[in-house]
């Protein structure tokens, strides 16, 4: 019964929502920029991975000069740094993917007047903002933790 009411309400909402020409123009322009930014995000992810490989290669050359105990400690720090690079690359890739999909599907929906593509594009827009929200919460938590540690020590 509850699901039927939800579906009925969703149909009413869809029937009342319309995009006028000005909204379509704005959404189409946003979709073009989203595709462009998505492609730039993929390129940025490649640069992050390239930087990670460069750091890995240069650190392996530097470890040859160090003594075994210093090399062990340095490699542990290097492993943490490479892990951070990898996490940043994965996050960057998914943000770029969601951004590109939003742009591609929304643009296609506006060209072909397809509700399915528009819904898919909006779903990817939701994922972009969800990802940014999670990253903001993590960032603010790290800042709060750093402030607390700074006060204690």
Q: Which of 108, 109, 102, 99 minimizes the C-alpha distance to 19?
A: 109
Q: Which of 123, 142, 106 minimizes the C-alpha distance to 24?
A: 106
Q: Which two tokens stand for residue 86?
A: 């990898």
Rounded to an integer, what distance in angstroms lies between the CA atom of residue 95 and that of residue 99?
6
pTM for the structure as a whole: 0.78
Sequence-distant (≥ 6) Cβ neighbours of residue 29 within 8 angstroms = none
Residue by residue, pLDDT tens for the chain (153 residues) are 556 655 555 555 556 667 889 999 999 999 999 999 999 999 999 999 999 999 888 877 766 666 666 666 667 778 888 899 999 999 999 999 999 999 999 999 999 999 999 999 999 999 999 999 999 999 999 999 999 999 998
Distances (CA, A) of 99 to 47, 146, 150: 18, 31, 37
Q: Which of 81, 51, 78, 83 minimizes the C-alpha distance to 63?
A: 78
């Amino acid at each position: 019964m509850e699901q039927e009411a939800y579906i009925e309400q969703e149909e009413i909402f869809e029937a009342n929502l319309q995009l006028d020409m000005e909204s379509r123009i704005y959404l189409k322009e946003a979709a073009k920029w989203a595709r462009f930014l998505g492609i730039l995000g993929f390129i940025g992810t490649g640069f992050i991975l390239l930087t990670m490989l460069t750091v890995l290669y240069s650190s392996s050359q530097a470890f040859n000069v160090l003594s075994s105990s210093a090399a062990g400690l340095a490699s542990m720090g290097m492993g943490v740094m490479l892990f951070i690079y990898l996490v940043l690359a994965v996050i960057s890739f998914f943000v770029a993917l969601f951004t590109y999909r939003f742009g591609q599907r929304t643009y296609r929906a506006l060209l072909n007047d397809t509700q399915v593509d528009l819904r898919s594009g909006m779903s990817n827009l939701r994922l972009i903002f969800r990802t940014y929200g999670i990253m903001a919460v993590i960032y603010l938590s790290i800042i709060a933790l750093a402030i607390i540690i700074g006060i204690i020590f």
